[in-house]
Homo-oligomer: A and B are copies of this chain.
Amino acid sequence: MSDPLSKRRLKMWIRLLGVTRAAEGELREFLRVRHDTTLPRFDVMAALYRRREGVTMSELSRMLLVSNGNATTVVDRLEKDGLVRRTPSETDRRTVHVALTPEGLAQFEGLAAEHEAEVSRLFAGLSEADLDSLTDILKRMRGA
């Protein structure tokens, strides 16, 4: 199992983790300093922005790859701040729909463009060709 290919995959994973953590750190600081918010809050709002009609708690945690309990607490805090709203489902009383409030939508729209610019700045070293091959590889990694 410790063939050269396996070792290379391990080195790649360590490198990948380093790049991701460094970028997350920069984005976290950006969100904190410039917008007084956090990465998990941003992630939830971005997911709700993409699905304007709202999602269930389970869908939300699947989208973000976090546990149900985690989604609950982040949504709790956003709801207390008036940025998202829970609505009980009409057809299934176990289910809850979450969506951005108008305030949440407004805040996110004020954030999104700057966030995109920050991400673009972080990865300014990547050309179109880099993005082509990287995207191709990432797609195949996800499937594996």
Contacts and interface: CB of A to CB of B under 8 A. Distances in A.
Interface of A: 1-2, 5-13, 15-25, 65, 113, 116-117, 119-120, 122-126, 128, 130-131, 133-135, 137-144
Contacts of A138: 12, 15-16, 19
A128 B9 CA distance: 9
A18, A25, A126: which has the most chain B beta carbons within 10 Å?
A: A126
Contacts of A5: 120, 128, 131
Given A1-B117, A22-B65, A128-B5, A122 B144 contact: yes
A interface majority secondary structure: helix
Given A117-B1, A122-B144, A128 B15 contact: no
A3 to B, nearest CB: 8
Nearest to A115: B10
A126 B113 contact: no
Nearest to A3: B120
A126 B13 CA distance: 11
